[in-house]
Every structure is written in structure tokens, then in C-alpha cells.
Amino acid sequence: MSRTAYVNGAYVPNDMAFVHIDDRGYQFADGVYEVVSVIDGKMIDEEPHLDRLWRSMGELRMTEPVTRSALKLISKQLLQKNRLKNALLYIQVSRGVAKRDHAFPQGDLRSSLVMTCRRFDFGAVRERAKTGIKVSSQPDIRWGRCDIKATALLPNVLAKQAAKEAGAFEAILVDADGNVTEGSSTSVWMVDKNGTLVTRPLKDNILPGITRATLIELAEKHQIRIEERAFSIEEAKAAKEMFLTSATSCAMPIVELDGSAISDGKPGSVATKLVELYWDFAGK
């Protein structure tokens, strides 16, 4: 069955789905996006993802392409048309099509909306969480508005590629002060020497991860001590545990950083507990 995409009002076969060459998403990466996981037919954290999408559009003064309820309907229809129950749903909004000029086009520009989905094996993610993953630290060379989920991802792409070439699954980004910011497409956590769960505060130029917010709630509900504070890559290397979160990785233990084992090189007990709590929450 060929896949179906949604492009500016029409459902089209994926290989016939195109955007205009003057689309500002293509010309300037002047766009924002969301990735939502769909597990057993359920959109995980749909409302927070839409909140973040609307916030990203607002921060960049983009017009909404459709209403929020229309977007929900399109999501549902797209999944149905693709007959998918376990999938990643991708939503992208760009400022729209206009003659190439850096400044915002004059007048009301209609933003572009593209949505796609593809089958995703969450069982494999859950399986991988049993052994954990390796990560590689990379310099964070991004801009000062990482709170916006923009499609301008070149620094993230370069970091992920460097991590891959180093034999790692994810890049852990490190700022000029030697502090961990986040992953190339994930939020990063550690359990420090005192057994406290630690993650960087949102005010310090990171994406407000939706899975991060859910995990904070789950940790608080289960009396796991948590602190939002900056931590260095050195502290992370000496941490009791490390793990990362995202819509696609869910909660994923980290067992090796830059070739050195984290503790005994096995997923730690807090991370393992949080992985379980997350899967319970996601209903699998």
C-alpha cells in the first residue's frame, strides 16, 4: 500500500507530495514542527504537542495553517488512510510561499502545512531499553532560541552524524561552559551521586521536551527526588545513571558516554523504573 501524505489541504500519495521551491521552509528553514508518537492507535501527549506547536508558531509570528481541531481531524484521517496504529506522525508548518527575501513577506501569508506518518516499531524501542545505548558528547553550536521547535536543524544533524561516526546512538550536546544541554533530538537526564534525578532547567535554552514533562510528572507521583539544574559533562560521566527521553526514544537508558561505561555499564534502577512507568503511561 503506498503511503499517503497531507499537503496544504490535500491527501496525496507520498511520492507525489511536493512543496513549492519558494516555500520559506525550503529556502530558509523558516518552519516549525512536531513529532508525535502513536501507540496502539493512541496519540501520546497530543495536547501538549499541539500546545508546543502553537507556541512555536506564535514565537515566530506565523499564521496558523488550520484550526487546532482541524489539525486533530487531519491527524486522525491521515493515520486511518495509512492504516497505522503504531506510528510516528510528523507535522510541519512553514511561513509559506513568497518571493525569496530574508525579511517576513508583507501582508497575510498563508502558512504551509505538511503532515506525514510512518510505521514505527515501539516494541524494538522497548527492547533496546533493556540493554541501553551509547552516546557521544559533541559541542552545542546551536542558536539562542532552542526553546522553539524549528526545522532549522543543521547543528543537530552534524552532531548526530558525528555521534554515529563515533559508534554512538545519540549526541549529547555540551555548551561553552562544559554543561550538558540536551541530545541532538532528545532530553538528557542523569542520576547524581546523591541518587537525585537531574535534568537541565527549561530556562537554559533547551527544547521543552514533552516526554521530559511527562517523566517529571511520573517521577513526582512516585516520590522520585528530582532537581532541575545545570550539570557538566564531567558530572554526567561520573553519574550513577544516565538516560534520555523523546517521543521516539520514549525513556532510554544510556550505558556508555564517550567510550566510558556509566557505572557498571548496565541500565540503572531509576532509569529502568522510569522506563516502566513511561510504558505504563503510554498504555503498552
Residues at the interface with ligand PMP (CB under 6 A): 35, 182, 185-187, 207, 209-212, 245-247
Strands 133-139 and 250-257: what pairing?
parallel
**Residue 8 or 211 having the CB closest to ligand PMP:** 211
**Residue 74 or 210 having the CB closest to ligand PMP:** 210
CB 251 within 8 Å of CB 275: yes
- CB of 17: closest distance to ligand PMP in angstroms? 22
d(CA 188, CA 261): 16
- CB of 101: closest distance to ligand PMP in angstroms? 28
**Residue 138 or 245 having the CB closest to ligand PMP:** 245
CB 194 within 8 Å of CB 135: no
d(CA 165, CA 158): 11
Long-range contacts of 215-218 (CB under 8 A, 24+ apart): 215/189, 215/245, 215/251, 215/274, 215/277, 215/278, 218/274, 218/277, 218/278, 218/281
**Residue 97 or 244 having the CB closest to ligand PMP:** 244
164 included as an active-site residue: no
- CB of 103: closest distance to ligand PMP in angstroms? 27
Catalytic residue among 85, 130, 149, 221: 149
- CB of 124: closest distance to ligand PMP in angstroms? 17
CB 163 within 8 Å of CB 136: yes
Catalytic residues: 149
